Amino acid sequence: MQAEMGDYVTYRSDELDLLSWRSVKESLDSFLVTIPTVLGFVLCRLFCGHLSPKCWRRFLLEFLLIGLPTVILVTVGSAYNYTYSLLVSIAIVGYIYGNVAPNPTHHEYEIGKRPIVFTLLRATAYSGTCAAILAVDFPSYPTAYRKSRTFGASAMDMGIGLFVVTMGLVSHRTRNTADLRKLPRSVVPLLVLGLARTIVITSIDYHQDESEYGKHLNAFFILGLTKLMGSLYSARVHSDDQLLALALGLLFLHELLLQSGLGEFVMSSSPHEGFLSANREGLSSLHGCVALYLLSIYFARWYTAQDHLSYQQFTIKLKKMLLAAILCWILVFISAYLTGIARVTFNFGYVTWISAVCLSLVLIYAYFFELKLVNTDQSKNKSAGDSEQKGLSLPSFVESLNMNGLTHFMLSNFLTGMVNMTLNPDKRGNLESVVILCIYMFVCAGVVFVMMRKGIRIA
């Protein structure tokens, strides 16, 4: 029997035995929650690509295709998520096969340093997180989507894992002292943001559930420490193959420690006293975060190993990714019965689940944006430069999030706090919830879109 407590879902103490079947179902359901956003990106690519990337008409159309369905399907329309996804998927595939010419087998694929599939995955994480962190405060937000206190694989449990992956995809293995000297540029801002958030929350006495990261830690601290530790660990290896071995070794060692009693202590109801005990959730998850971060770096290096691929080489790469995704999903289902899936400790089950989700999303994006739609608007692309081609390939919604993702995340956090302090979201009806969330998401997306139009890049 489950009960709702704030932003979390809790279960009776006699049900905390990994909850195997529930975790298996949740892991699949949570992945499917992301599909409307994915479909929104594809629809924008199909029907908005003829418009200028920086025109307001395109932004408004893209918001209607991405933002509006996201808001409705994570709140009042959550029961229709699968129906919407199935119907829109059928319509998109039918349209593509009826109207888009297939790529010739002699076509050459340019992967680039930062493939568009990584950009799309990053935008998925930012967009979904933006919607969830405020939607969770409304009664219309489904209980099943809320974070799990112990074991579970709900939609909101994906958040921090997706951020770790997207951070790893744009990072690289530390090779020399010059790389180490650059480390503070990316680590210090995250730690400063984490400290600022802790100070602000403490000063205004804003509620923060200690069972998420602990009494003093938060997501910014976790990401900053993950970046720091991951960079230091990766400096000890001499090749990307060794990086994979290091990541897997850390993950297995992490799981061994959790199974030796650490996991039970972290999930216990013992008081949060003393720095280590008070922050046991965040501290205990760090090596799992680092393992996932290193795995993401390895995957990015593997995906971009060849800058140009033939049609045959690209399809072989996608087939290998499909096999890896299937293997990860199998491990997720096995883990649900053996180790459980726990975001709070970043255990083996959680890391494999996030890996399965990300591989699946990258595959979907690669299929549509690289394999099927690469020739769309080709007549325009022939006379365009590389930067303009990318603008035609990706929705403006995605490009603006990629350009100022951290700014978008900070703005969404700030506005979430403002809404909570002024509009009492827990007392709002269904229609009010949808209106407030739409305005909130439009403002967040609109600000970074204006920044993109003006060429302003902060973070």
pLDDT tens by residue, 193-239: 889 888 887 776 666 667 788 788 888 999 999 999 999 999 888 88
Measure the CA angle with vertex 222, ends 216 and 224; round to 5°.
115
Is 459 within the bounds of a domain? no
278 in a domain, yes or no? yes
- Using the structure block, give the residue that is written with the tokens 């000890």: 236
Do residues 166 and 118 touch, judged by C-beta distance below 8 A?
A: yes
Task: Give the pLDDT score at 178.
Answer: 82
> Looking at the predicted structure, is the pLDDT value of residue 376 above 90?
no
Q: pLDDT at position 13, please? A: 37
The mean of the pLDDT values for the chain is: 86
In a domain, 248, yes or no: yes
Q: Coil, helix or strand for 342?
A: coil
Question: Which two tokens mark 187?
Answer: 């680590």
Domain count, the chain: 1
The H-assigned helical ranges of 240-385 are: 240-257, 263-267, 275-278, 280-303, 311-338, 348-365, 378-381
Give me the residue label for tokens 């602000």.
Answer: 200
Whether 105 has a pLDDT exceeding 80, the answer reads no
Is the whole model's pTM more than 0.85, yes or no?
yes
Q: Does 213 map to a domain?
A: yes
Residue 458 covered by a domain? no
Q: Which of 176, 134, 169 is nearest to 424 (CA)?
A: 134
- Residue 325 in any domain: the answer is yes
pLDDT value of position 29: 93
pLDDT at res. 169: 94
How high is the pLDDT of residue 179? 81
| pLDDT at site 12 | 42
- Whether 113 is covered by a domain: the verdict is yes
* pLDDT tens per residue across span 396-455: 889 999 899 889 998 998 899 899 888 988 888 899 999 999 999 999 999 999 999 998
Phi, psi of 11 (to 5 degrees): -130, 160
pLDDT confidence of 295, banded at 50, 70, 90? Answer: very high
The answer to whether 297 touches 282, Cβ cutoff 8 Å, is no
Task: Provide the pLDDT for residue 299.
Answer: 95
pLDDT digits (tens, 9 = 90+) for 258-275: 999 898 888 887 777 778
Contact status, residue 136 vs residue 49, Cβ threshold 8 Å? no
State the Cα–Cα distance between residues 61 and 83, nearest whole angstrom: 22
The pLDDT value given to residue 306: 84
pLDDT digits (tens, 9 = 90+) for 120-140: 999 999 999 999 999 999 999
Domain span at residue 416 reads 2-453
pLDDT at 82: 93
More confident residue, 252 or 178: 252
Cα–Cα distance, 283 to 266 (Å, whole number): 10
